[in-house]
Chain A
Amino acid sequence: MEDEWTLVIEGDAAPGIIAPFAAWRKKPAGAGVWVEGDAEAEEIGPLVAAAPVVAVRFPAIVDGRGLSLGALLRTRYGFVGELRAFGDIIPDITEYMHRCGFNAFVLPDLEQAEVAIACIGRMSDHYQASVRQPKPPFQEPTTRRP
């Protein structure tokens, strides 16, 4: 659970730093970038594709915009680095984020991180295609049928 990255809400980009998008664009080398959940995937997607880390801020539990952004970065802009969720996050929500392509979550403590891992593994199957499951079950007859 140790984090090799330091996220700065404001400030310059540098190696090991996750910086806001505007700062990151000036000095992307070795740096990560963070964006708000309502960032335009069409604008940032092509630019951040090569970043080692993209962090997406979720301003509230109920705000699902970052889920669409994550899914788009993964499926449409080919982002393969670390996709990190931070902000107002509870363990139960990480499962949605995980299915939308996030693979790192900033949670308040180790206990919550363990709950999150349990949440992510709880459901065996899902009805839809997602970043984690590129084909819906009806395209995979063996998983769908009893």
Chain B
Amino acid sequence: MYQYNAFDQRFVEERVEQYRDQTRRFLAGELTDDQFLQLRLRNGLYIQRLAPMLRIAVPYGLLTATQLRALAEITRTYDKGYAHLSTRQNVQINWPELRVVPDILADLARVQMHCIQTSGSCIRNITTDQFAGVAADEIVDPRPYCELMRQWSTYHPEFDWLPRKFKIAVNAAQADRAAIHVHDIGINIRAGDDGRPRFDFLVGGGLGRTPVIGSLIREGLPEQHLLTYLEAILRVYNRYGRRDNKYKARIKILVRAMTPGKFRAQVDEEWEHLRDGPSTVPDEEIQRIKACFVPHVYEDLVDETQLLARERLADPAFNAWMQNNVAPHKRSGYAIVTLSTKATGVPPGDVTEEQMDAVADFAERFGFGEIRISHEQNFILPDVPQKHLLAVYELASEQALGQANVGLLTDMICCPGGDFCSLANAKSIPIAEAIQRRFDDYDYLHDLGPLDINISGCMNACGHHHVGHIGILGVDKRGDEFYQISIGGNQAKDASLGRILGPSFKRADVPDVIDRILAVYVDNRLDGEPFLHTVRRIGIEPFKAHVYGVAEPSAGEREGPAPRMKEPPALRRAG
């Protein structure tokens, strides 16, 4: 975990006082709404449909138990006792009063936190693998580089007034858990032939109205050039990105308009002026930051294969949780636990102050006091000794954080939608809830296997619907809420964008449509084939045909267990 030194601490404290003065001038009428808007956005404050929303930065998703308790305390003191984990690994609170936001920022600064650049057309929180530093498949620890880039991007003199928001994600493991193909810049870190880290840059990926997979513009950059190369990309974007139309202002539009080849050439030309300049990172600075991320003092534990086998056999629910929520750790005898926030009836990512306090306690009792937030909006306990997994499961279950659904259909990604967000065309939380209510049979969910459902309330795609195996997008049709459904998207290494099935549906029909899509999958899948692969193999047509009622699935040819529904289809059609 990065520890602030005097420089970092003074910086956040001065930034709080700066914002306090801006708020005071706004309330005194010295700044107009429009002027203050831009200043408050750069401190994470939106004015939403119902109330302000404050987005708190959680750099690359890393928190200490102390910080999480401070967040719980903030929701108690200034809010309604709950917070929301966002798809950028941040934390949002929904009801802060504009005039007390400076006090909240001051409380955050006391625990080395802030809201800097969590909104506005600037470089946003840099995200990475929620398992960074502990994943068994990790190649390089990405956290020191994320921190280096966090510092570089914080209050940058030239790049805080970009054409549009700018999102950077970093992956450094075999599997891509950071969705780097759909970011403005996606960085893949790997080991070079000399064992030193090498950086590959993907640029111009993104979701929103125009989903694009990023283009590879630089391979194998050595670490000392990281900041100068970023500066070159950002300078080209700041100068030439479109500013006349906010829907065409992301870097992906510029890269496409120029072509990736010409964009790369322009970046290289700019970089020639900057490379080996003063922003070249000396090894001492990399080592200074790395020293904050030295591995914890792990005990010499052995894998508890037999104990876990016994415990799993004795409790099928624990078995399911082990299967879905527990990932391999790089140290023997330890495991990485994901605590799912996706309980039926709770908006995905919403957590109460009690849950936050409990998770902080778990992190101290069963780890080194660290917690992660994943972009799938769950909490991670990164260092749980295997012998304590059952205890963690039981304690988490008492806090409604024991759902065994990580990576399954009910572990949905969902934006706040029309209930909270003024941009949304449609609500998204009730859709998530309706799907969770329909599919709450764990056996059926496990039979379906890995399945990402991502829900966005509008084109801005905060719910990443394009890269959901099933994506749901809220659209507005003459003032009514409708939902467009796509299938075949994927956020992992072999990233792909979903294809739209066809005309959109009413809200009440969405669970039925999901049901029909899954029926086609179950009918057609080969042994052990996940949903995504079936879609890729058979294409979109069979799904289209069944969903829009052109053909019924051939019930006689079902393989494996038939889906178990809560209610018979006839009843579900009502309304």
Chain A positions within 8 Å of B, measured between CB atoms, are 38, 61-65, 67-69, 71, 76, 90, 92-93, 96, 99-100, 115, 119, 122-131, 134-139, 141, 143-146
Contact = CB atoms under 8 A, between A and B. Distances in A.
A142 B89 CA distance: 34
B157 A100 contact: yes
24 contacts: A61-B38, A62-B121, A65-B239, A65-B243, A68-B235, A90-B35, A92-B22, A92-B39, A96-B158, A115-B30, A119-B18, A122-B21, A123-B14, A124-B11, A125-B7, A125-B11, A127-B151, A127-B154, A127-B155, A128-B152, A130-B157, A138-B281, A139-B278, A141-B284
B246 to A, nearest CB: 10
B35 A136 contact: no
A142 B35 CA distance: 37
A128 B235 contact: no
A129 B279 contact: yes
Contact of B15 (A68, A90, A123): A123
Nearest to A70: B158
A68 B241 CA distance: 13
Interface string B4-18: 011100110011011
Contacts of A138: 281-282, 284-285, 288
A123 B155 contact: yes
Given A64-B238, A144-B5, 4 more contacts: A122-B21, A127-B151, A137-B7, A145-B7
B145 interface: no
Given A100-B158, A123-B155, A68 B239 contact: yes
A12 to B, nearest CB: 29
Interface residues of B, number: 44
Nearest to A146: B6
Given A62-B121, A64-B162, A76-B273, A143 B39 contact: no
A44 to B, nearest CB: 13
Nearest to B10: A124
A83 B11 CA distance: 27
Given A61-B38, A65-B239, A145-B5, A136 B155 contact: no
B17 A122 contact: yes
Contact of B14 (A92, A124, A127, A131): A124
Nearest to A122: B18
A143 B34 CA distance: 36
Given A61-B38, A92-B22, A127 B11 contact: yes
Q: What is the predominant secondary structure among interface residues of chain A facing chain B?
A: loop
A125 B14 CA distance: 10
A100 to B, nearest CB: 5
Listed residue (B25, B30, B156, B273) with the most chain A CB atoms within 10 angstroms of its CB? B156
B505 interface: no
Nearest to A143: B7
A43 B7 CA distance: 39
B5 A96 contact: no
B311 to A, nearest CB: 47
B368 interface: no
Contact of A126 (B22, B34, B121, B155): B155
A67 B161 contact: yes
B30 to A, nearest CB: 8
B33 to A, nearest CB: 12
B111 interface: no
B433 interface: no
A130 B285 CA distance: 18
A82 B18 CA distance: 27
B159 interface: yes
Interface string B150-194: 011011111111100000000000000000000000000000000
Contacts of B151: 127
Given A68-B235, A68-B238, A136 B278 contact: yes
A134 B7 contact: no
B208 to A, nearest CB: 18
Nearest to B14: A123
A146 B238 contact: no
Contacts of A143: 7
B31 interface: yes
